[in-house]
Amino acid sequence: MVLWLPRIAALPEHCVPHKYHVLPHTSNTINTMAASSALAELFHYVRHWPWLPALSGLLVTYFVLDALYQVFLSPLRKIPGPWLARVSRLYKVWRVYDGGVHHKDIAAHQKYGSAIRVGPSHVTVSDPAAIPLIFGISSKFLKVITPPSFIKAVPEMTEQGDFYKPFGARYEGTPWDTMFSTRDPFYHRSLKVPVSQKFSMTSIRQFEPMADECAEMFLAAMQELEGQTIDFGSWLQWYAFDVIAAMTFQARFGFMEKRTDVHGMIGAIEKATVYGTVISQVPALHAWLLENDAVLWLVKKLAPNTPNPLVHIIDIAKREIERYESDQKRGARTDFLALLQADINSGKNKMTDRELLNHLSNNLLAGSDTTGISLRSIFYYLMRNPSTYRKLVAEIDEADAKGALSEYVTYAECLQLQYLQAVIKEALRLHPAVQMPLERIVPEGGVTVCKVYLPAGTTVGVNPLVIHHNTDVFGADADKFRPERWIESPEAQLKAMERSFLAFGHGSRTCIGKNISILEMGKLVPQILRHFDVEWASDWKVHTYFFAKQNPQPQLLKPVRPRTCLPMLEPSAKLIFARSAAHDREHATWR
């Protein structure tokens, strides 16, 4: 039996026909007809409800009075910003709905200054000095407002701080929060502490052979596809997803072998981030959408083929756990799942089954997009700056000639390539994977930021892209791609740039998978440039729905000098990487 629309049950019982309170598990057709009929009767009742005019009048009065308060009496009234932002969250929705928040935030700060009002109780700031205050390890700025009894009990969440709620999910009828989406710092700590050592660079480096295996497949595919039309950007993400799957489950999902979005996982994550980005601007809507079991049930009945992206990823992780448990050779495995299971079995880690599933699915949700986006940005800026490209290739060739690079570049070896490290960092500065503000709540007592007082309860955010364009920190040419700034700048400026670098977040909420991404980038970029000359074909388009994804990224690759490390890679014709109608048709058959 399934309860129908429990939030409507708050109406008087006679408001909803009794026969529609509970829907039996009959055929899909009957359930669909019943649900549609129930909605029709409910709308008919509301339309003729005698109190509707009075209620409408009260609502209009409330919104008018609230707008007047926000404009003339709010503590934030003197903070500059668009007029709509003062009275409505609609401005926040407008900022993100078309994927252009990265451009809009930069333009807004250039127009209004370092602190701007983007909602009735929402402010974004661009002063790097605010970073440790808002995101520091000891910061009192949390993702949610909590009552004084917070330490003694799990808090009841209020609307302030609900920005992160739509990025969570409901799984098997209960809320499902990850380390990113949870607003409870105690729960975040309970998730992070047991696994933090597993994400240290020392621990991650044991997975290097898995990354090397994926790099071998990537380079072999590039050789095989010479002369064909493909999207290089998609290949970079397929590589990243296969690497994180291998590290997590010691089994690739086969993105590079099948040359498509396996199980629709990439598309599912994209849908989830679009939903989370838009709905998080008016988080109260989430309770009536994907947080509502009745709505999820209704959607499943009316449109059974509609995917639930986050649940889809969790189910995949659950199947991998089942595969591990049935694996007769699981004792020899060294993947992330095996390491966690070993800790659980030894009693070192008291992680529950649900927490284990949470960590594994979180690897998939966050482990490929950030790396794929970053790899695309590295090659994008190399192609747009030929002198930088030539300088990096020369550094790699020189190291290769000296025998300083292994068959597959190790992480230790890539650290010795100083210009490579500067190129990677500069690309992530100009195109961080996340290009929208990460919100926090001003704690009790209020605070002054950017010479503006923000009262307790104000939502404040910092957009990494805006900070990364700060000329006081990164120089007058902050909008230019110049890796040399990370090598030649005075020590004081270097420290300031490091403090203002938000590509992986900051403080206790720094991306836990940061080292995986750094390792993948440091190894793959020189590996590609050892074997291929890369030329630009056309530009890209960026859409920011939490992640700033570039699509497509056509490029032109030409195999170059024969190398002993990969005998299969020999000089041959051009590899053309560009999107075409023929390519789209071919991909359609794969999907």
Q: Does 80 sit behind a cis peptide bond, omega within 30 degrees of 0 on the bond before it?
A: no
Let me know if 558 is exposed, middle or buried by CB neighbors in 10 A (0-12, 13-18, 19+): middle
Q: Return d(Cα 118, Cα 92) in angstroms, integer.
A: 6
Maximum pairwise Cα distance, the chain: 86
Task: Give SS3 for 176.
Answer: strand
Q: Return d(Cα 516, Cα 240) in angstroms, integer.
A: 10
Binding residue per annotation — 15? no
254 near 242, Cβ under 8 Å? Answer: yes
**Residue 184 φ/ψ, nearest 5 degrees:** -90, 110
What number of CA atoms fall less than 13 Å from residue 553's CA on the CB side?
Answer: 26
Let me know if 66 is exposed, middle or buried by CB neighbors in 10 A (0-12, 13-18, 19+): middle
Paired with 123 in beta bridges are 117, 460
**Residue 485 φ/ψ, nearest 5 degrees:** -60, -30
Q: For the chain, count helices (H), then strands (E).
A: 26, 15
Q: Which residues of 291-310 are buried (b: 16+ CB within 10 A; e: fewer)?
A: bbebbbbbeebeeeeeebbb
* Residue that has been written with the tokens 């995986």 in this structure: 516
| Close Cβ partners of 309 (under 8 Å, ≥ 6 residues apart) | 268, 269, 270, 271, 272, 275
Torsion of CA 311, 313, 314, 320, to 10 degrees: 150
Q: Return d(Cα 422, Cα 485) in angstroms, integer.
A: 8
Q: Return d(Cα 317, Cα 309) in angstroms, integer.
A: 13
334 near 206, Cβ under 8 Å? Answer: yes
288 near 295, Cβ under 8 Å? Answer: yes
Q: Which residues of 481-512 are buried (b: 16+ CB within 10 A; e: fewer)?
A: bbbebbeeeeeeeeebbeebbbbbbbeebebb
Checking DSSP bridges between strand 459-462 and strand 122-125, what pairing results, if any? parallel
501 near 486, Cβ under 8 Å? Answer: no
Instruction: For CA atoms 307, 311, 316, 322, give the dihedral sign.
Output: negative
**HEC readout, 448-466:** EECCEEECCCCEEEECHHH
Binding site feature residues: 511
Binding site feature residues for heme: 511
